[in-house]
Amino acid sequence: MPVEVLTRDEIEKIVEERIRKLLVEETSKQQPTDDIREEFAKLNSQIVEINKRIEGLSEKKLARVAAPPSLENVLRSELGELADVLDIRSQQDQLVLRPRRYLDSRDFKTVSEVVRKRGGFWSSMNRTFIVKTVRG
């Protein structure tokens, strides 16, 4: 019994022809173009509605996830009125609080406690409070 051997190209041509025939049959069975346009219009309106819902969810999530307050703002709020007598400056990886006037022992203790709570210290050599902003 003879066996016919087909090459790869011949097999691909046969498959392509079969696919074309199937596509032609399917396109002839399809709905009229007006029905297709209606379906596209429905899909487009659904896509628009979904996009609106996604935007709404994103805005709600962004509203809930607010950026944490900066260290400077936290220190200012904790120090209250004492923040007004301090020159607070942000430097590379630290926040420097320099008294503008003499701090009596009670004020110095208050500022020192707030600064220590945030991991800072008093530098007697520089006469400033220093709080590291970058933790390593």
pLDDT in tens, 51-75: 787 777 766 666 666 667 788 888 8
pLDDT value for 3: 63
The strand ranges marked E within the chain are: 86-91, 94-99, 121-123, 128-132
12 burial (CB, 10 Å; 0-12 / 13-18 / 19+) is: exposed
Q: Which residues pair with 28 in a beta bridge?
A: none
The confidence score (pLDDT) of residue 35 equals 73
What is the CATH topology of the domain spanning 71-132? Hypothetical Protein Ta0175; Chain: A, domain 2 (3.90.1070)
Can you give the residue ranges of every domain in the chain? 8-64, 71-132
Quote the mean pLDDT of the chain.
82
- Give Rg (Cα) of the chain: 37
